[in-house]
Amino acid sequence: MSMRKHRLAVAALLATLGVAHAADTPNLGQPISPHEFAAWDISVAPDGAGLPAGSGTAKQGAPVYAEKCAACHGEKGAGQPNDRLVGGIGTLAGDQAPVRTVGSFWPYATTLFDYVRRAMPWQQPQSLSDSEVYAVAAYILNLNGIIGDADVLDATTLPKVKMPNRDNFFIVYPGNLK
């Protein structure tokens, strides 16, 4: 059989078998069901997809912040020794030094939940309960004047929070920047 005929025969065989993928692979990936990887599926999209059950308010978040976050991020998110979380709104344009904080710079509130849950507190990531993460996120948003101190953050309300800098973000891809 010529190589061309051989290839056609293989293609016909794959079509008969209903094999969807173009390349032949060892097929060693093990099928796994969602409940088996639930502990890994920690990302949260801007529409709220991935947000867990639970809820919290700024009032509930204040003591969590004081205990778990203030040592690095300062009292009330003022920063020092590590990143400042509060203030800077209105400093991004013009010649003044921009102050980039959660309040002034971050475009999506869902990112705050996602990041705190996956990476904070720095010494013990993934140690907070989901309600503690909602509460700390509420506290930081409240310090920035974005939500009220009794507003409840949960899977429904968090994606509806409009961040002050949201409309300044634009997506470059698939283009490039001059």
Partner 1 sequence: MAGNGLLDRRHFLQGGALAAAAVGAGGAATAETLTKAPWMTAPGTPFEGYGQPSRFEAKVVRIAGNPPNAPGTGASRTPLQALNGMITPNGLHFERSHSGIPDIDPDAHRFLIHGLVKRPLVFTLEALARYPMTSRIAFIECAGNSAVLFAKDPAAATVQGIHGLVSCAEWTGVPLAPLLDEAGVDPKAEWLLAEGADAAAMSRSVPLGKARDDALIALYQNGERIRPANGYPMRLLLPGYQGNMNVKWLRRIKLTEGPTHTKDETSRYSLLQQDGRVAEFKFPMDAKSVITQPSPGLAMKGPGLYEISGLAWSGNGKITRVEVSADGGQSWAPAALAEPVLSKALTRFRLPWRWTGGSAVLQSRATDETGYVQPTRAAQIAARGARGIYHCNLITSWGVAEGGEVKHVYA
Min. distance of Cβ 150 from partner 1 in angstroms? 27
Binding of partner 1 by 144 (CB under 8 A): no
What is the rounded (10 degree) CA torsion for 160, 168, 79, 119?
A: 60
One character per residue 11-30, x = contact with partner 1 (rule: CB under 8 A):
---------xxxx-xxxxxx
Question: Which residue in the block uniquely carries the two structure tokens 């710079």?
Answer: 105
* Distance separating alpha carbons of residues 92 and 105, to the nearest angstrom: 8
The amino acid sitting at 125 is: P
What is the rounded (10 degree) CA torsion for 66, 68, 69, 70?
A: 40
CB-nearer residue toward partner 1: 50 or 59? 50
Q: Does a cis peptide bond (omega within 30 degrees of 0) precede residue 31?
A: no
The amino acid sitting at 72 is: C
Min. distance of Cβ 82 from partner 1 in angstroms? 6
Nearest to residue 135, comparing CAs of 111, 121, 147, 153? Answer: 153
The binder of partner 1 chosen from 5, 17, 37, 160 (CB under 8 A):
37
Min. distance of Cβ 107 from partner 1 in angstroms? 5
CB-nearer residue toward partner 1: 5 or 170? 170
Question: Which residue in the block uniquely carries the two structure tokens 């507003």?
Answer: 151
Q: Which parts of 106-135 interact with partner 1 (CB under 8 A)? A: 106-108, 110-111, 114-115, 118-119, 122, 125-126
One character per residue 41-60, x = contact with partner 1 (rule: CB under 8 A):
xxxxxx--------------
Q: H/E element holding 142?
A: helix 130-143
Binding of partner 1 by 32 (CB under 8 A): yes
Residues binding partner 1 (CB under 8 A): 20-23, 25-34, 37, 40-46, 72, 81-82, 92-94, 98, 100, 102, 105-108, 110-111, 114-115, 118-119, 122, 125-126, 165, 168-174, 176-178
